[in-house]
Copies of this chain bind each other. A is one copy, B any other.
């Protein structure tokens, strides 16, 4: 799917998401994807060896445990970057709305098998 040529309402897109930990692509720029994901619970520890990962919290709260750093506590309106090669684990005690930015085809867990599962909404 081509990048949309009209503005994308993030709240309208979130309304279309009914699962957790399954990022959906909403925009593309310079070979990067902007993805929206609803999260709840504890994700697995993983590492992206070749890319930094941007997290923006748009609703709820997200904790990101990060090797070698204090856990990052994100509330709505907070932005956080996990550097490449740094192991991390996102945790949301209640449902949170997250936007991530990363290169197209970056796997969800650092495992390439998960990249193909992602799709535009």
Contact = CB atoms under 8 A, between A and B. Distances in A.
Interface of A: 3-11, 26-30, 32, 34, 51-54, 58, 69-70, 72-75, 77-81, 83-84, 101-103
Contacts of A10: 77-79
Q: Assembly of this chain: how many copies?
A: 2
A8 B78 contact: yes
Contacts of A11: 77
Contact of A8 (B4, B51, B80): B80
The A interface is mostly helix, strand or loop, or mixed, namely strand
B34 A79 contact: yes
A79 B30 contact: no
Contacts of A69: 5
